[in-house]
Structure 1
């Protein structure tokens, strides 16, 4: 084979390599929903048992903030309620004397009634006995009403104190540091024995069991995509080959934007692109910030 033919074949080979299509349609980086957990109380962090990379469950208690003063305030409010309620009258005891007088008056009423039947007493005496029974009964009713009003008034006085106790109990609950979502600790911002305040970040957590690839597509590609479409996500493997993951398009932007400088699309001549999110089940090898490619099958 002469030199001319060799040169032609070499040129064709180089041309074919130059026009070889990329194995992916778009690329981007992986991200996850990150949640910053902040303190809900003021004070010294007495315990914060977490480490970066540690997996946490939703509802798991990971520490607590000093609550001594709140506990003492609750005890003080409870003592105030006890002091107010100690003034509450015992209605049964208060009317016991009148009940005894009523019993005696009724007994006397019956005795005089029997004597009237035997002509041993006058009707006037029976009328007086009946009137005494009626008066004592009215006294008992009035006494019960007065004592009931006093008791109700004292109970109402304790209502604001009970509300204050409920507020303190809520503050005490917020002194416990409870992890709200399943996920792994990404960053730890505070340590035990440090002072904290309401709203101050303690740590950042993210659920990495499912991770999202944010990729950008061109206008022609955008028209071919739809929500819940199945795609293939490609990630560089340790052996130099791609690792493939099944993915699902979970979000497609309805607004075009200029191509981010760190992102390359299949057609670099396109200035405007559309952001998409592809949800991928993580096998533990996918990390936030890692680059990935997507093939629209």
Structure 2
């Protein structure tokens, strides 16, 4: 009896020892962190300095957004700042009759500018309405052409079946084929015209916005000129000087804001890395938030492995693992588990065999803590996880 107990104890210790030294290997692919680079100002892409696959450094200029309007806005803001400063200095220095005459002339000048700006905005708005109506008509024609194309495709299939059964002549089949080609050509033509119309609407929208900005600026200049005349006629008070000082500060803040927008017309890389994807083409219209590039950070490497439910006891967040790649067969790289998916999924098609892909697994992400100068995104890797108790 004692001998049986000793044997059972030995078997149990052997099983425990074997379980503690258990090691599993999972497959994955090394990936780098992808950083989106988006437009921060509106306009047309006028320069693309980098291509997919190019290595870049921090602050490298990747693209250029048309900055003509922003440059005009900077000049306008500088003029507004200078005018506010001049008004403040005049108020502090006192008033002369000649200054009053100049103020009256400024009012007349700004009145004329306001009238011109309103006329320009009215013309741009009328053009926009006309183009919107034309594009709506093109859209209706395009929808009709698409319906005709669908009908001709159906007719062609029927004719093809009849022709194969020798129920119609070759001439009748060729006629139906020509009708199908004509329908396709019509759809392609209208599609091109429709897209061109949309691009023109975007351009005219920009003109309307610029005209509206000019109207607002002219109106502000009118009010400012009239206020200046009143100031000259009544003389300066401490309250008036404080008000002019605030206007000067406001104009300076506006100038700094526009200059910052101008700097953002140069699209720069936020990190040192590699251009993974380019999402825009030269001449394309963009707006704030438009995705322009995707940049790969090769120094922040991760690998995702797919662990069956039966092996989840092997993994836990914070656990250290070892990673091996074919390029360095005699070397292991340290990593740590940082994420474990809450939901099961089928094994991805690029992992394991057809049989393995039918299993439900959990995605486990490992972040590499060494090998940044040797490991590259895209390398297949083996992740070795030890200890059946997950510690």
**Structure 2 partner of 1:31:** 31
Instruction: Label 1:227 to 1:162 Cα distance change in 2 as closer, same or farther (>3 A).
Output: same
1:197 and 1:270 map into 2 onto residues whose CA distance is 44
Tell me how far apart the structure 1 counterparts of residues 362 and 268 of structure 2 sit (CA, whole Å).
Answer: 38
Note if contact 2:94-2:236 (Cα within 8 Å) is conserved in structure 1: no
Deviations for 1:153-186, whole angstroms, at most 9, x for unmatched residues?
A: 3223334433432331231121121211222111
Relative to structure 1, the CA distance from residue 92 to residue 52 in structure 2 (aligned partners, 3 Å threshold; closer, same or farther) is closer
Identify the range of structure 1 (213-222 vs 253-262) with the bigger mean alpha-carbon deviation.
253-262
**Greater share of strand:** 1
Q: Offset at 1:148?
A: 2.9
- 1:155 corresponds, among 230, 237, 245, to 245
Q: Does 1:293 align with 2:379?
A: no
Please, what TM-score do these two structures have when normalized by structure 2? 0.48
* 1:228 shift after superposition: 4.1
1:181 paired to 2:271? yes
Distance change >3 Å, CA 199–CA 209, structure 1 → 2:
same
User: Kindly tell me: are residues 236 and 93 of structure 1, through their superposed partners in 2, closer, same or farther at Cα, counting changes over 3 Å?
Assistant: closer
**Is 1:55 the equivalent of 2:142?**
no
Task: Name the Cα RMSD after superposition.
Answer: 3.4
Give the 3 Å change call, closer, same or farther, for CA 254–68 of structure 1 in structure 2: closer
Q: Provide the residue aligned with 2:42 in structure 1.
A: 42
Asked whether the equivalents of residues 62 and 268 of structure 2 are also in contact (C-alpha less than 8 Å), the reply is yes
Give the corresponding residue for 2:143: none
1:246 and 2:333 correspond: yes
CA distance in structure 2 between the partners assigned to 1:187 and 1:37 by the alignment = 10
Distance 1:276 1:172, change over 3 A: same
Counterpart in 2 of 1:102?
Answer: none
Cα shift readout 1:38-93 (whole Å, capped 9, x = no counterpart)? 21112233333223222222333334322122122221222233334433346466
Larger Rg: 1
CA distance in 1, matches of 2:76, 2:358: 70
Residues 90-109 of structure 1 correspond to what in structure 2 (within 5 A)?
A: 91=92
Q: Distance in 1 between matches of 2:373 and 2:330?
A: 11
Equivalent-residue separation in structure 2 for 1:202 and 1:187 (angstroms): 9
The change in CA–CA distance for 1:157 and 1:285 in structure 2 (over 3 A counts) is closer
Aligned 1:1-297 pairs, distance under 5 A = 25-88=25-88, 89=90, 91=92, 146-237=236-327, 242=329, 244-253=331-340, 255-262=342-349, 263-264=351-352, 271-280=359-368, 281-283=371-373, 286-288=376-378, 290-297=379-386
**Secondary structure in 2 aligned to 1:223?**
helix
Cα deviation for residue 244 of structure 1 reads: 4.5
Contact between 1:234 and 1:292, CA under 8 Å: does it hold in 2? yes
Which structure has the highest helix share of the two? 2
* CA distance in structure 2 between the partners assigned to 1:236 and 1:91 by the alignment: 78
TM-score (norm 1): 0.61
Of 46-55 and 202-211, more deviation after overlay is shown by 46-55
With over 3 angstroms needed to count, the CA separation of the structure-2 counterparts of 1:40 and 1:233, relative to structure 1, is same
C-alpha spacing 1:254/1:210, structure 2 compared with 1 (3 Å): closer
Provide the secondary structure at the position in 2 that maps to 1:296. Answer: strand
Segments of 5+ residues of structure 2 without an aligned counterpart are 1-22, 96-234, 387-391
**Cα contact 1:231–1:248 (8 A) shared by 2:** yes
Distance 2:336 2:39 in 1: 35
Structure 1 residues 90 and 245, CA, compared in 2 at 3 Å: closer, same or farther?
same
